[in-house]
């Protein structure tokens, strides 16, 4: 098959065999407006920030919850903004709307839609990895699969459906949330560096035949 018809993709089974990635940086819980202001001041010193959100899952049809946690990460520290406690404060909104600071996320329009339920927001300066990785023939959309392709490590999704509005976030919840945001920076910078060549990836394979139906 021609190279044009090849993609980079990792199967669920391949992903499951990879060793689990772990978060090694600092974590700062932000649950007051003054803490949020200090965190934003520190984040303004960065040129690039990893971005993600978490929402308490709803298991009832038609019921949804507001975003409980906003993760903004530098290379060394992830700030966990507990939006269910403090809402979207003005300094945080200003940062999310500032196009001078590059913010990297994945499937960010869903995040924006959900954040707008808390407060009207016009995000700017964002790069969506789901679109960005297509330039490198990566066909997968999930953070864990993209990370697995690039780094041969697996991001566990075990905490995704936990209660993000809990009074105290567990250590596992905190490290899970922080790793998701930091992973966005790592993915973007690895691809930008030119170190990844789709043709030499062991996950370079024939694209599946289009469904006839």
- In tens, the pLDDT along 12-36 reads 999 999 999 999 999 999 999 999 9
Task: Output the pLDDT for position 3.
Answer: 63
Once rounded to an integer, what is the mean pLDDT over residues 179-184? Answer: 97
Instruction: Give tens-digit pLDDT for 93-131.
Output: 999 999 999 999 999 999 999 999 999 999 999 999 999
> In the predicted model, what is the mean pLDDT of residues 178-192?
97
pTM tops 0.85, yes or no? yes
* Phi, psi (deg, nearest 5) at residue 18: -80, 150
List the one residue out of 102, 121, 101 whose CA is nearest residue 111.
Answer: 121
pLDDT at 2: 52
* Both structure tokens of 175: 């490290």
């Amino acid at each position: 098959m021609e190279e044009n018809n090849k993609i980079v993709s990792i199967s669920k089974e391949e992903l499951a065999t990879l060793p689990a990635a772990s978060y090694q940086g600092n974590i700062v819980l932000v649950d007051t407006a003054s803490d949020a202001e200090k965190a934003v001041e520190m984040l303004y010193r960065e040129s690039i920030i990893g971005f993600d959100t978490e929402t308490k899952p709803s298991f009832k049809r038609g019921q949804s919850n507001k975003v409980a946690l906003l993760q903004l990460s530098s290379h060394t520290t992830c700030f966990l903004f507990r939006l269910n406690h403090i809402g979207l404060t003005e300094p945080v909104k200003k940062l999310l709307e500032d196009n001078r600071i590059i913010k990297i996320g994945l499937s960010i329009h869903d995040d924006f839609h959900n954040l707008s339920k808390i407060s009207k927001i016009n995000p700017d300066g964002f790069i969506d990895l789901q679109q960005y990785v297509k330039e490198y023939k990566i066909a997968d959309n999930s953070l864990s699969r993209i990370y697995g392709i690039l780094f041969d490590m697996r991001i566990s999704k075990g905490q995704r459906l936990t209660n993000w509005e809990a009074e105290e976030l567990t250590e596992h919840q905190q490290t899970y949330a922080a790793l998701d945001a930091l992973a966005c920076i790592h993915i973007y910078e690895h691809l930008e560096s030119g170190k990844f060549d789709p043709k030499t990836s062991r996950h370079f394979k024939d694209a599946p035949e289009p469904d006839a139906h």
